[in-house]
Amino acid sequence: MLRYEQNVANDVSDHDKNGHDKIDEPKLDPSFVAWQQANPMFDRDPAFTFKAMAIAAEMRQQGITTSGKEWFDEVDRRLKGDVPKGKSKVEGSSGGRSNGKPSDSDGSYSDLPPDAKAACDKFAEKFVGPNRTYKTVAEYRKHYVEVYNRTK
């Protein structure tokens, strides 16, 4: 009888109070946790979050295989626009400006490079509409451009 009770006790410890299997919470990479603390806009500001995620996806597509702190340092460099020669960056080569200087129309969606416009429009699908963060595409684009210009 003792063996049966041990099996029942073990079985119960593997389930929650509703009888469902317990699932261990995933452990976050400490390098990611440190990077997220240094970048508090991540997960709080949709444009910044998706820009960082787009950069990470682009790095994977380029075959960059680093990880940990080295990976997040590279994401930071690209967020700031410091990309190694020959590599692309999400915000375009001139940061949306033809001569690198602020223009009168700085902050306009139409001034964004094509890849940034595509990213903005893609993310707008998630954040614009009834019961979402932004009610109109124009409102979201304005926000996206503000964040884009802040993170150059």
27 has a pLDDT exceeding 50: yes
Q: Spell out the domain ranges in the chain.
A: 25-94+107-150
13 has a pLDDT exceeding 50: yes
Q: Give me the pLDDT at residue 21, please.
A: 67
Q: Give me the pLDDT at residue 91, please.
A: 38
Name every residue whose Cβ is closer than 8 Å to that of residue 107 and which is 6 or more positions away in sequence: 142, 145, 146, 149
Q: Give me the pLDDT at residue 112, please.
A: 81
Amino acid letter at 29?
A: D
What is the end-to-end Cα distance of the chain in Å, rounded? 69
Region of residue 43 (phi > 0: left; psi between -120 and 50: alpha; otherwise: beta): left
Q: Give me the pLDDT at residue 97, please.
A: 38
Amino acid letter at 112?
A: L
Let me know: does 91 contact 152? Beta carbons within 8 Å.
yes
Max CA distance (Å), the chain: 83
Q: What angle do CA 68, 116, 58 make, to 5 degrees?
A: 30
Q: Give me the pLDDT at residue 17, please.
A: 66
Name every residue whose Cβ is closer than 8 Å to that of residue 108 and which is 6 or more positions away in sequence: 145
pLDDT, tens only, 98-121: 334 343 345 688 888 888 888 888
Structure tokens that stand for 12 in this block: 């119960």
Structure tokens that stand for 94 in this block: 């001139």
pLDDT, tens only, 38-77: 988 888 888 888 888 888 888 888 888 888 999 999 998 8
